[in-house]
Structure 1
Amino acid sequence: MTTEIDWGPIRALGQRVIERGEPLELTDEVRALLQRSAEEVALAPEDAQNALRSIPTATTLLGEIRRRIREGSAQLGAATLRAYDLRDDGDLDSACRQMEEVLAVEVVPLYREHAEAMLREMTQLKSVASSGQVDPKLSDRAQAPILLHRVQQGHPLELNEGMRAFLRRSASDAGMSEAETEEALAIPERAGTLLGQIMQRLRDASDRLESAMYRMTELQDAGDVEGARQQIRDWLAVEVVPRFRRAAEEQLTYLDSLPPAP
């Protein structure tokens, strides 16, 4: 789709009318919102126009729009997580099937676009898995587990300039020092070990993020904002991966912005 989609207004309308039971008022603005949103979730324009002739049918239309947005998002999100896990395990065929199953039932164009893009990426990653060569059109993060899986299957990395550049970028992303990286790259046989260390650092950082965010949320919900802050400080004290450190710093800034408890 060429235009940017903002479902905030239709979600807010659905919350007021369907969840809170407020009456639907068919103003010109609401009619335009329902008509536009109906098209965005692949409802026929004539069906939407017919539904807008009365409050009950317009309310039903709102419910169907809301259902397609919510169910499509949940389905795509779950399939994406499964596909990423399968990709990281080196099972690209099963990762592709996750997106194919979404495309077999999904009608919302935006969600179909996301699924199609991910299917293309997984298909391109099959070439990386087959050749062992880095594809400059794909993200380093997507290719790293594929190349590591090859190493674990007994296929050493070909340490050409493209691979060296890839490993340097990935090592930097994982917070490894330049000296440590260059020492590993000086010995071709250590390239696979370096990639394994990079992936382990990223996995450990992801686990720390998940654990810290879970504890932070629990403490914040219990009203212990200072305890929540301390969780993030503890996380920052040990985190070495730059992008995860930035995430921790952003969370700490958010917590510091909260008003003091009464």
Structure 2
Amino acid sequence: MKRWGWAVLVAAGCWVGCGEGGSLPGQGDKPAVTNPDGTVTLPDIPAGTGGEDGQPALTTLWPLTRGSSWTYRIKDPSKGTFEKRVEVLGEQVVPETTMKAIAVLSTQPNKEEMSWQLELDGTVVRLREEDRKQGKVSQVTTWNPATVKALSKPQALDWSYTSDIRELTRADDGTLEDKDKTYVWRVAGVNETVTTPAGTFTNAIRLERKRGDKVKPDDDRTYWLVPGIGKVKEDGERLEELVSFDIQKP
């Protein structure tokens, strides 16, 4: 696994976990996915996958420029139809680590999700995610190594990557889940045409994610990503379609 050797580390004197995120009370000696020095192990993405990180906002498949935002219409089989707003807040210290990453806030009715993401060799990985209800952290999920979230650079048809991770989930009632998972990512389509409430896009990449360690259709996801815009559609557990977007320049 690749250790965080080129990361932007926190300035000397900053406390571990001094970011904008929260923490759950009474964690004590709970299992952790951070290394002894406070870093998070990053996955070994195959050489040549991505070139340089920090793709220009007009070409990246997953814009992470501060102030960028997206609104999605969600059709959920159990919760009905509602909207979700996603906004990039910018670089922050990742709670309970000595690292910085891009904070992304997702707001839904009665729930918020804050995740910390990084571009890595043509992909985007998540280091931590918090579920929040009524302003309080209700669940924290971390991964070792950091888990792949999406592509940031277009890839050829049938490109694939297998991700083996340990997922640690902590709930506010003290419940702890510690699981090993394998995900297989594959580019299943290129230059596809996708129509959403935000318009018709003719150059989408279709990215699929499936479980590699077991057959579990509930975990399968399909994403349509468009250069310079990001995710325009997602299908799987529920359907998400882009309604509007505002991408900021670097």
Q: TM-score, normalised by structure 2?
A: 0.23
Q: TM-score, normalised by structure 1?
A: 0.22
Structure that is richer in strand per residue: 2
Structure that is richer in helix per residue: 1
